[in-house]
Structure 1
Amino acid sequence: MDYILTYSLYVVVLSLLMGISTWKLFKKMGYNPLFAFVPFYNYLIIQKETKHPKWWVAMAYLPIIGPIMMTVFHLFLMRHFGKSKFTQVLLTVILPFIYLATVNYSKDAEVESEDELYLTEEEKNAKKKDTFAGSITFAVVFATIVHIFVTQPFGIPTGSMERTLLVGDFLFVNKWSYGYRMPMRPVAIPFLQGTIMDTGQKGNPKDDPKSYVDAVKLPYWRLFQFNKPQKNDIVVFNYPQDSVHTAIDRKDPYVKRCVAVAGDVIEMRAGRLFVNGKPETILGDQQEQHKFIAHAGSQLDVPALYNKYGFLPLQEIQTNEGFVYDFQGLTDQIAKEIKALPQIIDMKEHIWDKDSAAIGYKLNAARDAYTKNIDTTQSIFPINKKWNQDWYGPLKIPKKGDVVTLNQETLPEYQWIISEYEHNKLENRNGKIFINGQETNQYTIKQDYYMMIGDNRDASLDARFFGFVPEENIVGKPMFTWMSLQGAFKDSSSTYQAPFKVRWDRMFKATNTGEVYKTSYWWVAVAILVLFFGWEFFVNLFKKKKQED
């Protein structure tokens, strides 16, 4: 309800701006000037007068798409009054209602004839350009609709989900898997996530130009939520502790496996996951991996290993006694095969010591000098526990309606939920806890939370570090891999850069099914192309037939 009320307020404000800035123009076109203030109908009149597709009006007030369509309508209207020079077009785009008002209240604004009999050759060429621009606009709007309301592409830049999802896989994500989450920043540049460009590592990321208008915001609302994330689902979500973007739907997208849902208890014992006291269920397409340290008498043929095993993030360090290899993502079977190589002296799985809270690590040149570094930017969650990646929990995942006890011991576990995810004012003063100004020792959870962990357990920045993932951060479920490029991203965890190649065998294969042999979705790509180009073909055919009649 809050979403609809806020949305309606924006529609009223936009309609008032449109009416104030164009009422005289509507009167000159022969309409009651009050129609300029009527939502949808005002743009319908513009479409009627400029002889453009009237069904475009249905998209005039949609989030993100609406500003694009409104700009198109404004350009149509200005051209109808002879304002088609470059500077006039630029002013219409950049300062829409201000420039519309300038034209509206001027005395020389008159409707120009569009009768083909009276058009000059230059004007006819301009009209052809308009037709071409209309086709381009349709293409952009069509792609934007699919991107915002149906499915969104994501790339895999890191190896946290290897070997289930590979570095360089590009996925289409179904935004309706867990109910459609309505856009929260309705004024934004299409196809961009959070920022327009990265200004560089030396600058503050918060200073990067945003791809959305943060001041125009809508509350969280999810439509048709018939399902929620289940254990073992691969889920795309917005990174909860993204400090750069305040908008939930503009935070960085992550993809991990949902290992525990609201109400479950999670625990890691020596690198193995237990949920509700039972070992996790390993699906057919899930390849759990761990870190192994190998000592070799001579250098390994890393390219050959990569060609054989695919993803192979590693650090290679030469010592006086040979080479030390830090493999950050090996299955038990691959580790067994590498251990059998003649160069290998010994090889062991690396497991953190119990009650060791340090999460950073550094492999030194001296043999066996594998030391831990404190990294305050990626502290284990919650920060007051002596847990690590391999020895973690037990930790209960909060569920909507849970009443949790608050004290100095439990506060680190719930403080992000209370203050950031559920938007309360939290204060901790003199050992006393205040929520919205009221002292309290308990809190009622307002939404469900989830635990998202990567299959590559020792090379994954996941919920063990950033904590619970709120339901409102859930984007959807990957459908299929539409492109897979080995070497597309530089793996910072590896000293070896994989050669570039296209993985044809992974393209248009389903994800998130739990099956070893994936369903092919080539037909989806074909259907999209047929729908797009077929629509244009039939529209042009209809126009031609109408002209002949």
Structure 2
Amino acid sequence: MNYFLTYTVYVLILSVLMGISTWKLFKKMGYNPLFAFIPFYNYFIILKETKHPKWWAVLSYLPIVGPIMMSVFHIYLMKKFGKNLFQHQLLTVILPFIYMASVNYSKDAEIEDESDNELFLTDEEKNTKKKDTFIGSITFAVVFATIIHVFVTQPFGIPTGSMERTLLVGDFLFVNKWSYGYRLPMRPVAIPFLQGTIMDTGEKGNPKDDPKSYAEGVKLPYSRILQFNKPQRNDVVVFNYPQDSVHVAIDRKDPYVKRCVAVAGDTFEMRGGRLFVNGKPETVLGDQEVQHAYTVNTGSQLDIPSLYNTYGFLPVREMQTEKGFLYAFQGLTDKTAAEIKALPNVVSMEESIFPKDSATISYKLNADKSAYTKSVDTTQSIFPVNKPWNQDWYGPVRIPKKGDVVAINKESLPMYQWIISEYEHNSLENKNGKIFINGKETSQYTIKQDYYMMVGDNRDASLDARFFGFVPEENIVGKPMFTWMSLQGAFSDASSTYQAPKKIRWERMFKATNTGEANKTSYWWVAAMILILFFGWEYFVKLFGKKKKEEDL
């Protein structure tokens, strides 16, 4: 309700600005000046008078799309009154209500005489009309793509191996934004197709200083419509990274994709690198392969490029030691691990499992380069920070559920402080051992929304909820639908000494992603139909337009 109330306020403000800056122009076009103040109808009149499709008016106040369409409609209106030069159009876009007001209140603003018959147009006028038609076509192609991107589905690339071998590095997906109800845009004024920033200023710059792709000052509260389903266990889910410190706007935080291994109310646990939910081992679906990290010592160098060709995804770090070579593999299936262990130059091989009751651990090479030693670092971001857990021995922890009443004290605060202060937007203070929420001392808190545990299928190479904590329902974007492109080697892997050779994985293209089945449904026929309809429709429109012109002549 708050969303639509805030949205209505924005629409009314824009409508008042539109009316104040154009009411005289509406009067000169033969309409009641008050019509300039009526949302949607004011743009309907402009489109009618400038001979453009009147239904476009419905696009005028949509989030993200609306500002683009408003600029286009404002330019149409200015052209109606003879403002055809580039500088006029530029002023109309960057200072819309100010420039239109200057025209509106000027004494010489008159409707420009127009002729529909191309026989009476000069060559210059014909060229201008062709240019305007071309620019209009490009604009509405962008608008159409923006509508699909904002309201239906969004493309998403897989840059890391955290979901191998379900989703491969270099897979490009389309995400269904309606899977769990449509989350309405929270930053309605934004540059189309950009997630959070316009550009990266580089490693030396502060990411917070990168130019944003949206207007932070124009904001709408979180709201979701038509929510018939919620994330279920084993769903592959796209969500906004909860602890993104660069972007305050929820829908502008970095997108992540993981598997929902536990839902609100479940108990999650890792025991020696094995995942348990509610005390039971995880259910492994047909498209999943259990994977683990391994340390391998060899007497001579392994042929890693050959192994890449055989097994595909195979991130590995190679170090030379006095006794031979040491390899740290990520994401080996049981079958792959057994085959590598059987290689003649392998001396020893063991699964890399962190010790129980220790904080996050890193590996450092010994001074004599004979082996790696495990280094405990209590400053690492395992969640919560006061638990002696790591990614292999984690929990048990109960996933917060809407309505849960949880105890808040010194021990439990690290578990819930982000929920209270960041996700559910309360003030939180810890004074002299006493905890205050919204200014009141308290020892308990009622959870306001559902939370989820999102973990990568490739557990030993995944930055997931074990590190950044529970994922709020408001951060959920949707489900991946299908892979529209798969390019091996599209992204470099800093965790690997070797990089996969570049090639297109034709067998993965236009395959369904979020089914849990090993053999995915192919959607090649859908892609073919879309292309045929698109080009066929374009041909039909051109043919119809040509015949109509001949009839008019």
Q: What TM-score comes out, normalization by structure 2 length?
A: 0.97
Q: Hey, what does 1:49 align to over in structure 2? A: 49
Partner of 2:266: 264
- Residue of structure 1 in register with 2:139 after alignment: 137
What amino acid does structure 1 have at the position aligned with 2:371? D
Separation of aligned partners in 2, 1:27 and 1:51: 18
- Residue 99 of structure 1: SS of its match in structure 2? helix
Mean Cα deviation higher: 105-114 or 233-242 = 105-114
Amino acid paired to 1:96: P
Cα distance between partner residues in 1 of 2:459 and 2:246:
26
1:65 partner letter: V
Letter in 1 for 2:234: N
Following the alignment from structure 2 to structure 1, what is the Cα–Cα distance between the partners of residues 236 and 44? 43
Describe the superposition over 1:85-111 as per-residue Cα deviations: whole angstroms up to 9, x where unpaired: 121111111111111112112222221
Of residues 502, 523, 532, the one that matches 1:500 is 502
- Alpha-carbon offset, residue 159 of structure 1: 0.5
Which residue of structure 1 aligns with residue 32 of structure 2? 32
1:534 and 1:220 map into 2 onto residues whose CA distance is 40
Q: Does 1:164 align with 2:169?
A: no
Residue 436 (1) aligns with residue 417 (2): no
Identity of aligned residues (%): 78
Question: In the alignment, is the contact (CA less than 8 A) between 1:65 and 1:144 conserved in 2?
Answer: yes
Shift of 1:368: 2.7
Paired position in structure 1 for 2:377: 374
Of the structure 1 ranges 414-423 and 102-111, higher mean CA displacement relative to structure 2 is found in: 102-111
- Cα offset, 1:129, TM superposition: 1.6
1:215 paired with 2:220, answer: no
- Choose 306-315 or 134-143, whichever is displaced more: 134-143
Query: 1:93 corresponds to which residue?
Result: 93
Q: 2:319 is matched with which residue: 305, 314, 317?
A: 317
Report the Cα distance in structure 2 between the residues aligned to 1:213 and 1:436, rounded to whole angstroms.
Answer: 28
Match of 2:462 in 1: 460
What is the CA–CA distance in structure 1 between the aligned matches of 2:479 and 2:98, rounded to whole Å?
Answer: 43
* Maintained 8 Å contact 1:24/1:33: yes
Report the 3-state secondary structure (helix = DSSP H, G, I; strand = E; otherwise coil) of the residue aligned with 2:30: coil
Q: Is this contact kept in 2: 1:262–1:449, CA < 8 A? A: yes
Q: Does structure 1 conserve the Cα–Cα contact (< 8 Å) formed by 2:258 and 2:456?
A: yes
Please tell me whether the aligned partners of residues 361 and 374 of structure 2 are also in contact (alpha carbons under 8 angstroms).
no
Match of 1:283 in 2: 285
- Structure 2 counterpart of 1:294: 296
Following TM superposition, by how much is the alpha carbon of 1:452 offset from its aligned partner in structure 2, in angstroms? 0.3
The 8 Å contact of residues 359 and 380 in structure 1, kept in 2 or not, is answered as: no
Cα deviation 1:270-313 (Å, max 9, x = unaligned): 00001000000001100121110000101000100000000111
Separation (CA, whole Å) in 2 of partners of 1:108 and 1:510: 61
SS state at 1:458 partner: helix
- Do 1:359 and 1:379's aligned partners in 2 also have CA atoms closer than 8 Å? no
In the TM superposition, what is the alpha-carbon distance from 1:363 to its structure 2 partner?
Answer: 4.4
Instruction: Report if the CA contact (8 A) 1:296-1:322 is conserved.
Output: yes
CA distance in 2, matches of 1:142, 1:263: 41
Q: Trace 1:197-276 onto structure 2 (pairs within 5 A).
A: 197-276=199-278
Q: SS at the partner of 2:459?
A: coil
Q: Equivalent residues in 2 for 1:499-518 (5 A)?
A: 499-518=501-520
Q: Which residue of 2 aligns with 1:173?
A: 175
Pick from 331, 334, 345: which aligns with 1:332?
Answer: 334
3-state SS of 2:461 partner: coil
Match of residue 5 from structure 1? 5
The 2-side partners of 1:215 and 1:14 are apart by 15
Distance 1:373 1:124 in 2: 74
Q: After TM superposition, give the deviation of residue 33 of structure 1 in Å.
A: 1.4
Where in structure 2 are there 5+ consecutive unaligned residues? Answer: none
SS in 1 for 2:91: helix
- 1:205-261 CA distance string (max 9 Å, x none): 000000000111111111111111111110000000001000000000000000000
SS of 1:62's partner is: coil
Q: Tell me how far 1:541 sits from its aligned partner.
A: 4.4
CA distance in 2, matches of 1:38, 1:369: 71
Using the alignment, how far apart are the partners of 2:272 and 2:484 within structure 1? 36
Superposition deviation, residue 404 in structure 1: 0.4
Q: Secondary structure at the match of 1:185?
A: coil
Q: Distance in 1 between matches of 2:255 and 2:378?
A: 23
Moved more, 305-314 or 91-100: 91-100
Question: What secondary structure sits across from 1:98 in the alignment?
Answer: helix
Q: Which amino acid aligns with 1:234?
A: V
Q: Are the structure 2 counterparts of residues 119 and 108 from structure 1 closer, same or farther at C-alpha, using a change threshold of 3 Å?
A: farther
Counterpart-to-counterpart distance in 2, 1:380 and 1:389:
8
Preserved CA contact (<8 Å) 2:315 2:329: yes
Q: Offset at 1:80?
A: 1.4
Give me the TM-score of the superposition, normalised by structure 1.
Answer: 0.97
Give the one of 151, 154, 164 matched to 1:152.
Answer: 154
- After superposition, the Cα gap between the structure-2 partners of 1:428 and 1:271, relative to the gap in structure 1 and judged at 3 Å, is same
Compute the displacement of 1:537 (Å).
3.9
Once the two structures are TM-superposed, the CA of residue 136 in structure 1 deviates from its matched residue by 1.3
- What is the one-letter code of the residue matched to 2:498? Y
Aligned residue type for 1:265: T
Query: 1: distance between equivalents of 2:525 and 2:133?
Result: 31
- For the residues of structure 2 that align with 1:46 and 1:259, how far apart are their CA atoms? 53
User: Residue 369 of structure 1 aligns to which amino acid in structure 2?
Assistant: Y
Q: Number of residue pairs matched?
A: 548
State the Cα distance separating 1:545 from its structure 2 match: 4.6
Counterparts of 1:287 and 1:375, CA distance in 2: 31
Shift, 1:429, TM fit: 0.7
Bigger shift: 22-31 or 3-12? 22-31
CA shift, 1:78, in A, is 1.3
Q: 1:94 to 1:384 in 2, by over 3 A?
A: same
Cross-structure match for 1:59? 59
Judge conservation of contact 2:237–2:476 (CA < 8 Å) in 1.
yes
Q: 1:9 to 1:62 in 2, by over 3 A?
A: same
- Contact 1:359/1:389, CA 8 A, preserved across alignment: no
